[in-house]
Amino acid sequence: MNVSDSLLEGISLWSELNPIQSVDEIMDRALQYCDLAVSMGLGAIRTHVDTCDDDLKGVEVLLDVCAKL
Pairwise CA distance, residues 12 & 60, whole Å: 23
Predicted confidence at residue 24, as pLDDT, reads: 94
The predicted structure's pLDDT at residue 55: 86
26-37 pLDDT, tens per residue?
999 999 999 999
d(CA 31, CA 45): 12
The DSSP element (H or E) to which 59 belongs, if any, is helix 57-68
- Asked whether residue 7 is assigned to any structural domain, the reply reads no
Provide the pLDDT confidence category of residue 64 given band limits of 50, 70 and 90: very high
The answer to whether residue 39 sits within a structural domain is yes
64 SS3 class: helix
pTM across the whole model:
0.75
- Number of folded domains that form the chain: 1
Domain that holds residue 42: 22-68
Residue 49, phi-psi category: left (phi > 0), alpha (psi -120 to 50), beta (remainder): beta
Any domain includes 3:
no
pLDDT tens for 2-56 read: 999 999 999 999 889 888 999 999 999 999 999 999 999 998 888 888 888 888 9
In a domain, 13, yes or no: no
